[in-house]
């Protein structure tokens, strides 16, 4: 099976309006920026997106917001992007806020085939509204459900033509879990290698989870905030 696509535009060609899409990254670190740009060019609408955050204005998921591509978003942090707040308060986007650890575990559970799990996070808050509550050993827990997607767009440092992926340091973040939680995982990599070129001990995401892979055209390597001070 040939998993290599020549362009990000070709790789996202079948992501249609209303699709549920996970996007790896944490802020601007480890984001699939070339795949995001391809989605913007495609002009898709009504997406249900899942990510830790929406990056910043003019970059990463911020580009999807600015393009009017998102109808509903699930995230754990929204403070970095003012547009998300504006769209939410004006009713143009439905926002689902999930505690960060719970978000990561809901995604991991989906990839592991676990339909749900209990967590104490959110007990006694608005997070608990509408959820089953149980007590274990004198402590109260909420039932959280696994979080699946039709597509996952992930970023890795290196990958081979079979879809095996290696991540670099903190750019790993949500990418490995999301790669396992979607029907179709699309990976962009900085270096695309031949099978056997990756050290098997360094592979984090086995190729069985990746349906499509391509080398990213370019990377801006932006900073969310850059502060300088005199020493």
Asked if residue 226 belongs to a domain, the reply is: no
Asked if residue 45 belongs to a domain, the reply is: yes
pLDDT, tens digit (0-9, with 9 covering 90-100), for 97-153: 999 999 999 999 999 999 999 999 999 999 999 999 999 999 999 999 999 999 999
Tell me the mean pLDDT in the region 169-188. 98
How crowded is the C-beta side of 6, counted as CA atoms within 13 Å? 0
Residue 181 to residues 177, 207, 216, 229, Cα–Cα distance (Å): 7, 14, 22, 42
Look up residue 1 and give its two tokens.
């099976």
Asked if residue 204 belongs to a domain, the reply is: yes
Rounded distance between C-alpha atoms, residue 55 and residue 173, angstroms: 14
Tell me the mean pLDDT in the region 46-73. 95
Minimum mean pLDDT among 93-107, 140-154, 195-209, 215-229: which range?
215-229
Whole-number pLDDT of residue 124: 95
Domains: count for the chain: 1
Whole-number pLDDT of residue 88: 94
Look up residue 120 and give its two tokens.
């104490």
The CATH number of the domain holding residue 209 is 3.40.1080.10
Look up residue 5 and give its two tokens.
């696509």
pTM of the model: 0.93
Confidence of residue 69 (pLDDT cuts 50, 70, 90): very high
Beta-strand pair 149-160/20-23: parallel
Higher pLDDT, 80 or 42: 42
Rounded distance between C-alpha atoms, residue 115 and residue 117, angstroms: 7
Range of the domain at 25: 8-115+146-215
For the chain, the average pLDDT equals 95
Asked if residue 97 belongs to a domain, the reply is: yes
Rounded distance between C-alpha atoms, residue 194 and residue 14, angstroms: 26
Whether residue 218 is predicted with pLDDT greater than 90 in this model: the reply is no
């Amino acid at each position: 099976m040939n998993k290599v696509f020549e362009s990000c535009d070709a790789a996202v060609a079948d992501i249609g309006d209303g699709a549920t899409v996970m996007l790896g990254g944490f802020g601007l670190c480890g984001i699939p920026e070339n795949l995001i740009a391809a989605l913007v060019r495609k002009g898709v609408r009504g997406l249900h997106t899942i990510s830790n955050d929406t990056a910043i204005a003019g970059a990463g998921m911020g580009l999807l917001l600015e393009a009017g591509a998102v109808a509903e978003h699930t995230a754990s942090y929204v403070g970095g992007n003012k547009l998300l707040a504006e769209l939410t308060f004006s009713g143009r986007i439905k926002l689902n806020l999930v505690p960060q650890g719970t978000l990561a575990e809901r995604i991991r559970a989906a990839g592991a085939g676990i339909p749900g799990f209990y967590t104490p996070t959110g007990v006694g808050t608005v997070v608990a509204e509408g959820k089953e509550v149980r007590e274990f050993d004198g402590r109260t827990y909420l039932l959280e459900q696994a979080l699946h997607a039709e597509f996952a767009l992930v970023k890795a440092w290196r990958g081979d033509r079979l879809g095996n992926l290696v991540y670099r340091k903190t750019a790993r973040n949500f990418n490995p879990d999301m790669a396992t939680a979607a029907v179709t995982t699309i990976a962009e990599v900085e270096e695309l290698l031949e099978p056997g070129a990756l050290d098997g001990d360094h592979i984090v995401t086995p190729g069985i989870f990746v349906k499509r892979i391509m080398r990213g055209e370019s990377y801006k390597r932006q900073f969310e905030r850059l502060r300088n001070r005199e020493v």
